[in-house]
Amino acid sequence: MKETELKLVIWPNKILTRKCKPVFVVDEKIRQILDEMYNIMVKKNGIGLAANQVGLDKRLIVIGLNDQIFKLVNPCIFKKEGSIKIVEGCLSFPGLEIEVKRAKRIWVSALNHKGEQIDIEATDLLAVVLQHEIDHINGITFISRIPFWKKIKISSNLRKLKRGKYELPK
Ligand SMILES: [Zn+2]
């Protein structure tokens, strides 16, 4: 797969609100997609990316946080605990930063890039990134995780995105 094949999708593209399909076989093709997603994420200075953010209807996410790299297939959260508020950005919402309330500690089960079953226990920022990306493949973006009054505050940013008036992440 050439590097130019996958492109970042910007809100309000409809694929961002679609629940993605599970991946049944973790083969070379899937590993290539995961690698390519990871490269795009790094290039755009992101710390997480979901497959529908590059136009693919698949339950795949990648995360790169400090020294931790995750390339996950069909991830799902099976337990949550506590709460935390962190200001989040999203590569599909250039220029927008919002504080979102999420669980502080989560437990995730997924397949890794080899197709092996893994469990991840995550806290704080890693837990937040995982929740943000798993939301993506469920068709949920971070603007539907904030109260209505906060949505009013960001409405001009959203109008700009709707009109295509934004600067793409470099
Ligand atoms: Zn995002």
* pLDDT tens-digit map of 117-161: 999 999 999 999 999 999 999 999 999 999 999 999 999 999 999
* pLDDT tens-digit map of 36-79: 999 999 999 999 999 999 999 999 999 999 999 999 999 999 99
Is 133 noted as a catalytic residue in this protein? yes
Going from the N-terminus, what domains does the chain have, and what CATH number goes with each? 14-162 (3.90.45.10)
Ligand 1 geometric centre to CA of 121 (Å): 21
Residue among 5, 28, 116, 133 flagged as catalytic: 133
Ligand 1 geometric centre to CA of 147 (Å): 18
pTM of this structure: 0.95
User: HEC string of the chain?
Assistant: CCCCCCCCCCCCCHHHHCCCECCCCCCHHHHHHHHHHHHHHHHCCCCEEEHHHHCCCECEEEEEECCEEEEEEEEEEEEEECCEEEEEECCCCCCCEEEEEECCEEEEEEECCCCCEEEEEEEHHHHHHHHHHHHHHCCCCHHHHCCHHHHHHCHHHHHHHHCCCCCCCC
